[in-house]
């Protein structure tokens, strides 16, 4: 007979750690989340060029659709940039749902979700999206205090990203030095040695039309070392 008490305890611990639950953290517990897109004018968000030394296009490619309330990036106006939320966070859960608009004859789609960036985006940590690809972390972070590129693509446990036209759900847990990425039902990769323990969240525009919805964040109490 299954040890029910032990099973429930283990399930609770996994849910708290956010490492293996099939449901998203938002669906598991809807308390304490802040809607980062509550202001449909996008007040509180700032466009930042990628890389920081590039010129920022004069025409914004970001808008909120009045019918659906979804954030839309047209992806074809001003080139590579990020839309940064203008508040820094330390430990948190970030929930984002996205889908690309299919484009005939184009199998490659590109965008990303950033966490713990600095203000100009020269330091960044990105959850790579894509179409039937992505689901890993990479970035320009600090390693022993110096900026260094990292890419955890080879450490991805499973490709869980759905193709263009379908909604994907990403959740990023940033807690102390650990950043983990949950994609459509399971954690796909973890970065356990992040030296940057505070920063901005952002969404990326990189030439493809993409919609975002349910962009929500829950701050976590800082764990004692």
Domain membership of residue 12 (yes or no) is no
Domain membership of residue 46 (yes or no) is yes
Domain membership of residue 207 (yes or no) is yes
The percent of residues above 70 in pLDDT, for the chain, comes to 89
Domain membership of residue 10 (yes or no) is no
Integer CA distances (angstroms), 13 to 8, 34, 63, 179, 184, in order: 9, 24, 39, 18, 20
**Rounded to an integer, what distance in angstroms lies between the CA atom of residue 11 and that of residue 203?**
32
- Sign of the CA dihedral 115, 119, 122, 123? negative
For the entire predicted model, the pTM comes to 0.89
Task: Identify the band that residue 6 occupies on the pLDDT scale cut at 50, 70 and 90.
Answer: very low
> What's the rounded mean pLDDT across residues 182-198?
97
Domain membership of residue 123 (yes or no) is yes
> What's the rounded mean pLDDT across residues 161-166?
95
Instruction: List the helix and strand counts (H, then E) for the chain.
Output: 2, 15
Alpha helices by DSSP H, the chain = 4-17, 25-28
- pLDDT reading at 10 higher than 50: no
Domain membership of residue 155 (yes or no) is yes
> What's the rounded mean pLDDT across residues 154-161?
94
Is the peptide bond between 51 and the residue preceding it cis, with omega within 30 degrees of 0?
yes
Domain membership of residue 224 (yes or no) is no
**Rounded to an integer, what distance in angstroms lies between the CA atom of residue 64 and that of residue 40?**
6
In this predicted model, what pLDDT tens digit does every residue of 35-59 receive, in sequence order? 999 999 999 999 999 999 999 988 9
Domain membership of residue 48 (yes or no) is yes
- Out of 85-99, 102-116, 207-221, least confident range: 102-116
Number of domains observed in the structure of the chain: 1
Q: What is the CATH number of the domain that holds 84?
A: 2.60.120.560
What average pLDDT does the structure give for the chain? 90
What range defines the domain where residue 39 resides?
A: 20-219
Q: DSSP 3-state assignment of 121? A: coil
């Amino acid at each position: 007979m299954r040890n029910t008490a032990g099973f429930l305890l283990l399930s609770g611990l996994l849910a708290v750690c956010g490492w293996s639950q099939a449901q998203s953290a938002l669906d598991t517990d809807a308390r304490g989340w802040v809607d980062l897109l509550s202001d449909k004018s996008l007040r509180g968000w700032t466009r930042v060029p990628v890389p920081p030394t590039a010129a920022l296009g004069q025409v914004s490619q970001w808008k909120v659709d009045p019918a659906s309330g979804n954030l839309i990036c047209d992806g074809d106006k001003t080139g590579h940039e990020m839309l940064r939320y203008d508040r820094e966070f330390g430990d948190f859960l970030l929930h984002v749902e996205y889908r690309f608009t299919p484009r005939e004859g184009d199998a490659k789609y590109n965008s990303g979700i950033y966490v713990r960036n600095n203000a100009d985006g020269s330091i960044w940590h990105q959850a790579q999206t894509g179409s039937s690809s992505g689901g890993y972390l990479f970035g320009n972070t600090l390693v022993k205090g110096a900026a260094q590129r990292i890419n955890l693509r080879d450490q991805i446990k499973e490709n869980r990203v759905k193709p263009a036209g379908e909604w994907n759900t990403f959740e990023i847990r940033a807690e102390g030095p650990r950043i983990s990425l949950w994609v459509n039902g399971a954690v796909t990769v973890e970065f356990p040695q992040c030296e940057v323990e505070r920063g901005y969240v952002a969404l990326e525009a990189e030439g493809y039309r993409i919609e975002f919805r349910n962009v929500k964040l829950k701050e976590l109490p800082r764990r004692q070392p």
